[in-house]
């Protein structure tokens, strides 16, 4: 029997992009560990409501807040909403931040990538994670945890990934600087790099294209493409006190993709 902590002792996580895919799975796995969540969604309120309901079924609490993480100008208003949501959860601070939100991208050969496409990736994947973390620093507890989400494509180089992979490479470097500068507050900062995961990301290419899915499986030591439930539990575990001494690390979760 799992004994849930009292509400006053419960941890609280903020997860961006928590209504679908890896973010949703992370929120649900945190709920199974007795962690409450405030998560963001971009446009599909019905998906967010479904996650809130699933969290409640697991015996935890969740608050969904709409946010475009590519719009830095909206962050002050978001922080105000966070303060209000924390009050509703009986808290003034939160414990964990997972910078997961991302926008769909297409493979873009280096010589075909446009300034607009590059800027779009930059705003969401790097600039958004950078400044949202900065804005939330006054509200994260000393001794808290931050996890940034990267990709296996910073290690596995293939045609079409220059723009996306470079943005995530910047996130990986940022993670080390954050760990160094937030260390005096006891805050750990790590980066999780999923391999190819079957979600609706990038048009669901891994999930919905049998040829792509089969190709990924052939390249993976464990013989299949990843699914969200391969990633969410790992993130939840990384946020736990069991991993308090893991800091400034890039952890790839790919089943052994292209070893």
* Residue 5: per-residue pLDDT: 52
Q: What's the distance, Cα to Cα, between the start and end of the chain in Å?
A: 39
Q: pTM higher than 0.85 for the full model?
A: yes
Average pLDDT score over residue span 99-105? 87
Active site residue 122: no
Q: Single out the catalytic residue among 41, 122, 164, 177.
A: 164
CATH topology of domain 8-253: Rossmann fold (3.40.50)
Q: Are strands 12-15 and 62-66 parallel, antiparallel or unpaired?
A: unpaired
- How far, CA to CA in Å, does 135 sit from each of 103, 194, 207, 220, 228? 21, 26, 35, 38, 28
Least trusted range by pLDDT, from 75-84, 116-125, 141-150, 206-215: 206-215
């Amino acid at each position: 029997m799992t004994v849930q902590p009292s509400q006053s002792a419960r941890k609280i996580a903020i997860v961006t992009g928590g209504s679908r895919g890896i973010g949703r799975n992370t929120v649900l796995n945190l709920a199974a560990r007795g962690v409450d969540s405030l998560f963001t969604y971009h446009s599909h309120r019905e998906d967010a409501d479904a996650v809130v309901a699933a969290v409640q079924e697991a015996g935890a609490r969740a608050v969904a807040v709409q946010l475009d993480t590519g719009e830095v100008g909206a962050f002050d208003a978001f922080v105000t909403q966070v303060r209000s949501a924390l009050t509703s959860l009986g808290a003034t601070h939160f414990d964990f931040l997972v910078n997961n939100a991302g926008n769909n991208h297409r493979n873009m050969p280096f010589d075909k990538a446009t300034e607009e496409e590059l800027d779009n990736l930059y705003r969401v994947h790097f600039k958004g994670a950078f400044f949202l973390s900065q804005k939330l620093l006054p509200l994260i507890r000393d001794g808290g945890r931050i996890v940034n989400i990267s990709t296996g494509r910073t290690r596995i180089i293939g045609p079409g990934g220059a723009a996306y992979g470079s943005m995530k490479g910047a996130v990986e470097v940022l993670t080390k600087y954050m760990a160094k500068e937030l260390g005096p507050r006891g805050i750990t900062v790590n980066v999780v790099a999923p391999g190819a995961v079957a979600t609706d990301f990038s048009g669901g290419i891994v999930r919905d294209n049998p040829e792509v899915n089969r190709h990924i499986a052939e390249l993976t030591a464990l013989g299949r493409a990843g699914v969200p439930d391969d990633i969410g539990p790992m993130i939840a575990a990384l946020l736990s006190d069991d991993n308090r001494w893991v800091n400034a690390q890039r952890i790839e979760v790919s089943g052994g993709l292209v070893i």
